[in-house]
Amino acid sequence: MSIRNRIFLSALAVAGASLLLGGLTSWAQGVLPDALASFANSPSGWTVLTALLVAAVRPSLAWGAAFGVVSFVSLVLGYTIVSELRGLAYNPMFWSVVGVMAGPVLGAAAAAVVGRHTVRAALGAGALAGVLVADGIYGLTVVGDSTSPVYWSLCLVAGAVLVGGTALRLRSPAAAAYVVASAGAATGFLTVGYSMLNAVS
């Protein structure tokens, strides 16, 4: 199979799976137990799905960035379609813009994690872990009164496991430092971003 065909099929697979899973997150909002319901209504939920789908096709860093946009925006569109079919009005504009902005970072990070470059893998894992940790902190501190702490706590645990697991897998003190530093930076950046959004909303 030519490289062009492989890229096309990978993009098609990522887009199709993302549309399906995006639709399922709309449906899941009504069926998931309270402890896990926030998965279907949080940035970390779509981040995890985007990262897993991009990593599954093992693209290059550049194509990973492109597939990240494809996946995140397709998740939003799938969610919108199923929500409308369920009689729930939903405007996809905001999260589509988020997908265009954040998708390249998430996709490149996922591609880096499954790639062969040690430093890139550490930085990618740290970036993804930062999303989980920041979302967990946000959930527990900002919307903790109206949501179950279980999902947010799982985000914190998953972020810590990703950092620790990556450091152990790469078996390099430098890689361990990179993954911890990038996770800390991503957590701090996103936490500030959440605070700014809350301030203007």
The pLDDT tens digits of the residues spanning 91-120 come to 999 999 999 999 999 999 999 999 989 999
Specify the residue for token string 């939903």.
90
- Under DSSP, the state recorded for 146 is T
Q: Which residues contact 42 (CB under 8 A, 6 or more apart)?
A: 135, 139, 151
At 70, is the pLDDT very low, low, confident or very high (cuts 50, 70, 90)?
very high
Alpha-helical runs (H) found in 87-172: 93-113, 118-141, 149-170
At 196, is the pLDDT very low, low, confident or very high (cuts 50, 70, 90)?
confident
SS3 for 148?
coil
Structure tokens, 138: 């946000």
Say yes or no to pLDDT of 25 above 80.
Answer: yes
b or e along 130-158 (b: 16 or more beta carbons within 10 Å of the residue's beta carbon)?
Answer: bbbbbbbbbbbeeeeeebeeebbebbbeb
Say yes or no to pLDDT of 200 above 80.
Answer: no
At 38, is the pLDDT very low, low, confident or very high (cuts 50, 70, 90)?
very high
Specify the residue for token string 């990973």.
64
Q: Where are the domains of the chain?
A: 1-115, 118-201
- Please state whether the predicted TM-score (pTM) of the whole model is above 0.85: yes
Number of other CB atoms surrounding residue 67 within 10 Å: 33
